[in-house]
Amino acid sequence: MKIAYLTFFSVVVRVLDRQLISGVPRAARRRAMRYAPGMNPLHPKKLLLSKWTALAPVNKEKHFIVIKVIEPEQPGEAVEWVDIDAVHSRQTRRIAWKTLRDETQWRQGWL
């Protein structure tokens, strides 16, 4: 049993080494092409009730939650705006959802 486990582990290590030697896996290359460095990968459909931390808090407002995704007036257009609610003060702001992708301003989750 112990020998079989070690054999399995060494095979897994070899497979992982081959993936690293052959380069970056295909899925990672696709993600890298879609998102620029320093950008949070996210989609506007997944934003509702997501939690965010501002890296430069103003008025002790550091933690936010997306309370509303503003749908465009025309059905075929893309989502541009979201309403975020500050957890500390309960004030609501409307921001462009793409600003949440900037890792210098926002981090996903409450840190």
Tell me the pLDDT tens digit for each residue of 92-107.
Answer: 999 999 999 999 999 9
* pLDDT given at position 21: 45
Q: Residue 92 carries which side chain, given as an amino acid letter?
A: T
How far apart, in whole angstroms, are the C-alpha atoms of residue 97 and residue 104? 15
Give domain status of residue 91, yes or no. Answer: yes
Give me the mean pLDDT over the 18-34 stretch: 58
Q: Give the pLDDT of residue 75.
A: 83
- Residues 78, 103, single domain; the answer is yes
Please give the C-alpha separations between residue 101 and each of 34, 39, 84, 107, in angstroms, as whole numbers: 12, 5, 14, 8
Residue-averaged pLDDT of the chain: 79
Q: Are residues 48 and 23 in the same domain?
A: no
pLDDT of residue 6: 46
pLDDT digits (tens, 9 = 90+) for 40-69: 677 888 899 999 999 999 999 999 999 999
> Do 81 and 94 touch, CB atoms closer than 8 A?
yes
> pTM, whole model, 2 decimals?
0.64
Work out the pLDDT band at 90, boundaries 50, 70, 90.
very high
Asked whether residue 25 falls in the same domain as residue 64, the answer is no
Instruction: Tell me what the mean pLDDT of segment 61-81 comes to.
Output: 92
Please give the residue range of the domain that contains residue 30. 2-34
